[in-house]
Amino acid sequence: MLHLYRLRDAMGVPFGRPAEIATSVHRWVATGDVRVDLPPWVGPVVDSGAVVASDAVDVIALTGVQLQEAAFGVFDRCLDRLGMPPTRVWAFLSDITKSDDAGLTRYMHMNIGRGRAYARHMSPGVPPPAGTSVGHAGSQLVVHALHVPGPATSVENPRQVPAWEYSSRYGPVSPPFSRAVLTPDLLIASGTASVVGEETRHVGKLARQWEETMRNLEVLKSAAGVRGEWFGLQVYVRDERDLEEVSACATAAFGSCERVLQASLCRDGLLVEVEGVANV
């Protein structure tokens, strides 16, 4: 399944309809459709000349090397179709934290395939794009890649180890994403969570993890020299029982138009993850 979108209304349905954005979604399933899967800020960016390509494949029965190969294929096809350097990538993977007999999670196997695809499509030494990788209740690996015209600069959070420099505790291939990317108009944040250094902080404490996540988002803005407010948020919550509390936190922090999705995160200890953009 391959899509390339240049127009907001490619199939007559706009991005980010308010009724969808304001809803907490239980057992969220990524569809492979950018207008449904991605946060509301993407539509106007695409209207202004950005391009997004998508691909998806059923991987629920795949493990180990098979999953690595499938991931390589999805990312490779998606980036080939995009035809330009990716600014921002989303990857939604079924059973993302399920481990095999070797202790490697499906996320770790996906990163092996993703890393190979990035190496094929990106110049050596170029920082990876911003990224989100979370689970969903479907059976597919769904990948969306966005190219924003103009110069783009990778931004790292000084409180965190760059993801591509993680130790082998987090897999044989480090997760290839930058914490954010700065374009002429937007600071585009990756999925951001309660991580300091490379460690998960406040395991089992939702309120503390939310506070740490907000701190990381603010430090990202400071590192980028950006003063605009965050908007176009998409929030991922591990446990269904936490949806109401996180929705209240998101409303208090950002306003009422946030989309809060129940989705497994890439580490078992993480309870919430937030992504968004800020005006430069």
Residues 6+ positions from 22 with CB-CB distance below 8 Å? 256, 257, 258, 259
Read off the tokens for 46. Answer: 């695409």
2-279 CATH, one of 3.40.605.10, 3.40.50.620, 3.30.60.50, 3.30.1330.40: 3.30.1330.40
DSSP code for 105: B
Comparing CA positions, the residue from 154, 149, 156 lying closest to residue 184 is 149
Strand partners, 99: 105
Token code pair at residue 15:
């991005």
Number of Cβ within 10 Å of residue 65's Cβ equals 11
For the entire predicted model, the pTM comes to: 0.93
> Where are the extended beta strands (E) located within 194-271?
195-196, 199-200, 230-237, 259-262
Number of H helices, E strands in the chain: 7, 14
Instruction: Report the largest interatomic distance among the alpha carbons of the chain, rounded to a whole angstrom.
Output: 47
Enter the tokens of residue 160. Answer: 């965190």
CA–CA separation, 206 and 210 (whole Å): 6
Cβ atoms 128, 180 nearer than 8 A: no
**Per-position pLDDT tens, the chain of length 280:** 434 434 333 333 344 443 344 468 889 999 999 999 999 899 999 999 999 999 999 999 999 999 999 999 999 999 999 999 999 999 999 999 999 999 999 999 999 999 999 999 999 999 999 999 999 999 999 999 999 999 999 999 999 999 999 999 999 999 999 999 999 999 999 999 999 999 999 999 999 999 999 999 999 999 999 999 999 999 999 999 999 999 999 999 998 657 999 999 999 999 999 999 999 9
The kind and range of the H/E element at 52 are: strand 51-58
Distance from chain centroid for Cα 66: 23
In this predicted model, what pLDDT tens digit does every residue of 40-73 receive, in sequence order?
A: 899 999 999 999 999 999 999 999 999 999 999 9
